[in-house]
Amino acid sequence: MKWLTKPEVEAFLRANGVSSVDQIEAVLSGFDFNVPIYYQLYEEDQELFQFIRNPSAVNLSPRVGCWFALPGATTQGVAIIDGGSGRRFHRFRVVRAFTAIEGTAKSIPIMWQHEVGGPGGATQIYVHPNLIGHLTVVSPAERR
């Protein structure tokens, strides 16, 4: 497994359709580059998890995002907060193999307006938006 550098992650994102400098910086800023970050192949029937925002007055239709976690993840571990409306923990199953970027969540100061922040330290996975269709939602999962 090769430890990726920021330029390599940026090149991967650009090669997969992320062209906005702001979007690239947003992805890079979520990872702790002091610990290994690598390409990870996810194959059929593997499971990933996500904390999905509940509907709120400012976000009526929450959607599946690009950041996923492993079983047992906590919001603090992936440096996000529940915000005013809370989040649900959902299980997803891979229905078609894909490669994503896997690493460790960086510690982020709490920013209520973006519903992020926390100590980080847990494994997180960035799945390119074009690959979200390679996953299907299975069910809510038990939250720790």
Distance CA 27, CA 13 (A): 9
22 inside domain: yes
Phi, psi angles (nearest 5°) of residue 133:
-65, -10
Distance CA 50, CA 72 (A): 11
66 inside domain: yes
Residue 66 lies in domain: 6-140
Distance CA 130, CA 107 (A): 27
**3-state SS, residue 87:** strand
Along the 144 residues of the chain, how does pLDDT read in single tens digits? 789 999 999 999 999 888 899 999 999 999 999 999 999 999 999 999 999 888 765 666 667 789 999 999 999 999 998 877 788 899 999 999 999 999 999 999 998 877 889 999 999 999 998 899 999 989 777 776
1 inside domain: no
67 inside domain: yes
pLDDT at 70: 95
Report the predicted TM-score, pTM, of the whole model to 2 decimal places. 0.90
Phi, psi angles (nearest 5°) of residue 44:
-50, 140
55 inside domain: yes
CB 81 within 8 A of CB 118: yes
What's the number of domains the chain is made of?
1
115 inside domain: yes
